[in-house]
Structure 1
C-alpha cells in the first residue's frame, strides 16, 4: 500500500518552468502554457509578465483566450504572479494611490482568468496598501500571498515586520507563500559544476559543497564578492548564493504556518545526491501533515538559468517526486489500496 496524497493539498506547476521556451517564442506563450495542461498538470500558476503582452494592465481578450483554452482542457489557474512597480523613474516613487491603481487591473485579470490568488514579494505592498486592497480582495474573492524565499526567513529583520502585519490583519484574504528555496540542505550538484567551470577556486568549492549551512561559508562568499575576484561571466550566477539559496530548516516555519496558504516547491535540478531535492520535501510533508495545512504546492524550476533540460519532462519528474515525498511524510495521508 502506498500513501495517498492528501485531498486538501493541490499540486501545481508554475509557467515559470517554461520561461526559456516562452522567451524563445517558437510558439505563442498561450500555446506553451495551455500545453502544460496536456503534458504535465491541470493546475497552473501563471507568470503573466511572460504571457500577456498587455501586462500589467491585461486586456480582457488576452485573459479570456487563456481562460477558455485552459477550461477546454479541464485545467485551471491557481495563483497569478502580480507585479508592483514602485517607481515611475529612477528617482520618482509612485504615490500610494498610484501603487493601488497599478495593482487593481492585475487583480481583476486574475479573477477573470479564474485564479484564486495573486502573489507579491513579502513586505513590498506594506500595511497601508494592503488595507486599501482588502475590500477588493473580498469583492473578487482573491487571496493576496506575500512570498518569502531564499535567504529570507521568518526571523529575518526585513521579513518579520511584514509577517507581523499580515498576522495583524487577521484576514484569510492576505496570506503567506513560502518558497522552499529557503530549505536547502546542500547546493545543487549542477550549480556547483557551473561554478567549477566558471573558475571559482577549489577551496571555496569544497566549502560550498560540504558546509553550505555554515555561516562561515556565507562570509567566504561575501568576501570573494567584495574582493572583485568573482569571474565576470558568472557574476549573476554567483549572486544566487546570497539571494536565492537558503539555509533554513522546515522547523523554522512552525511559528508562521497559521499564516501560510501556499508553497513553491522550488528545485534547481533533480540530482538527489544526499537528499538535496527530496529531504526538504519530506521535512515539509511531515510538518504540514501535523499542522493540518490546506492549499497549493507548486513545482517551480529555477535551474533553467544554467541547464538546457526539457521543462516538461523535468517538471513531470519533479511532480512525481514531490507527490511521493510529501504523501509519504504526511501523517494525514491515507493508505491507497
Structure 2
C-alpha cells in the first residue's frame, strides 16, 4: 500500500532526471518528457525547458502548445519551469537590468502558456532591482518565482542570507524559496565514493570523506587536495561537487525560512540507503513540514546520472516510493492509517 501524504503536499518528478536520455536523442525530447506521465512515473512534472524546446530561451508558441497538448493527453501537468538568466551578452559585457528582464519575459510567457504554476531561478541571481520589475509581471501571469537554495547554500550561510531576507521583506506570495535537499546530506552517496575510489582518488582522502563528511573541516581537506594538484583528471569534475552540490545542514536549519518556502527538490544521487543516508533526511523533512503546515511541491530530482547509467524511469519510481514512505513516516501518517 502506498503511503498517504498530507493533501497539501504534491509530489512530482523533474525532467532533469532524464537528461542523459534527452541528450542522446534516440527519441524526441517531447516523447521522453510526456512519457514520464504516460508511463505512470509521475503526473506532475517540473520542466527543464533548455532540454525540451529548441527555441529556448525564447520558446515559440507552437512548440510550447504542441508539448502542452501532448502532455495533457498523457495525463500530465507542469508544476515549475526552470528558467535561465544569461547575465552576459559576451564574455565581458553584462546585460543591463532592462535587458535581463527582456531575456526572462519570453520564458515567463512560455511557463504560463504550458500551464505551470511557477518558474525557478538560483537564489540571488535576479537581485532586488530585477525582482521589483518582475513582481507585476508575475501577478499578471499568475506565476510564482522560486529562488532555489541547494548544496552548501544553507540559510545560515552569510552569502545566502541577504537574498533570503530580501524575499522576506518583499512579503509577496509571488516570490518564494525552493529548497534542494542536497543541503541535507548525513553522508556522501555510496556510489559517488566508489566512483572517486575507482577513479584513483587517494584512499586516505576517500576514507576521510566516507567517515567524516559531516565535519565542516572536510572542506579544508578538499581544498588542500585541489591545491596540491593530486586529484586524478578522470574524477576532477566529480570531485568539485564536494564544494558546491553536497551540503551538511540539518532539517532544523530550515525552520525560520519555512514560511517563505513553496517547494522542495528531493535531490537524490543513488538509492543505496546505507545507514539511512537517503531516507533519514526525508523522514526529518516530513516531520518538519508537517509541524509547520507546509503547502507545496516535493519533486524527485536525480543528480546521480552524472556517474550512473541506471534507467531514469526506474530510479525515479523507486525514489518517489521511498520518499513518500519516509515523508509520511515523518509526518506521522503511517501506512494503513
> Quick check: 1:6–1:334 contact (8 Å CA) kept in 2?
no
Q: Is residue 24 of structure 1 aligned with residue 24 of structure 2?
A: yes
Shift of 1:228: 1.2
Distance 2:217 2:44 in 1: 41
Question: For 1:200-220, what per-residue CA distance to the aligned partner results, in whole angstroms no more than 9, with x for missing partners?
Answer: 111111110010011221110
Q: Is residue 89 of structure 1 aligned with residue 94 of structure 2?
A: no
> Quick check: 1:5–1:334 contact (8 Å CA) kept in 2?
no
Q: Residues 58, 199 of structure 1: CA spacing in aligned structure 2 closer, same or farther, 3 A cutoff?
A: same
**Counterpart in the other structure of 1:267:** 268
- Alignment gaps of 5+ in structure 1: none
**Counterpart in the other structure of 1:278:** 279
**Counterpart in the other structure of 2:47:** 46
Question: For 1:16-70, what per-residue CA distance to the aligned partner results, in whole angstroms no more than 9, with x for missing partners?
Answer: 0000000000000000000000220100000000000000000001100111111
Distance 1:74 1:20 in 2: 24
Q: Is residue 106 of structure 1 aligned with residue 113 of structure 2?
A: no
Distance 2:334 2:169 in 1: 35
**Matches for 1:73-152 after TM superposition, within 5 Å:** 73-152=74-153
Distance 2:71 2:217 in 1: 48
Distance 1:177 1:157 in 2: 18
> Quick check: 1:175–1:259 contact (8 Å CA) kept in 2?
yes
Q: Is residue 67 of structure 1 aligned with residue 68 of structure 2?
A: yes
> Quick check: 2:83–2:121 contact (8 Å CA) kept in 1?
yes
Distance 2:33 2:42 in 1: 11
Q: Residues 2, 25 of structure 1: CA spacing in aligned structure 2 closer, same or farther, 3 A cutoff?
A: closer
Distance 1:330 1:289 in 2: 5
**Counterpart in the other structure of 2:34:** 34
What SS does the corresponding residue of 1:263 show, helix, strand or coil?
strand
> Quick check: 2:286–2:330 contact (8 Å CA) kept in 1?
yes
Q: Residues 3, 269 of structure 1: CA spacing in aligned structure 2 closer, same or farther, 3 A cutoff?
A: closer
**Counterpart in the other structure of 1:219:** 220
4+ runs deviating over 4 angstroms: 334-337
Distance 1:240 1:37 in 2: 30
Question: For 1:4-24, what per-residue CA distance to the aligned partner results, in whole angstroms no more than 9, with x for missing partners?
Answer: 211110000000000000000
Q: Is residue 252 of structure 1 aligned with residue 253 of structure 2?
A: yes
**Counterpart in the other structure of 1:15:** 15
Scaled by the length of structure 1, the TM-score of the pair is 0.98
Distance 2:191 2:254 in 1: 27
Distance 2:89 2:124 in 1: 19
Scaled by the length of structure 2, the TM-score of the pair is 0.98
Distance 2:336 2:174 in 1: 34
Shift of 1:310: 0.3
Distance 1:54 1:148 in 2: 27
**Matches for 1:149-298 after TM superposition, within 5 Å:** 149-298=150-299
The worse-fitting range, judged by mean Cα deviation, of 170-179 and 153-162 is: 153-162
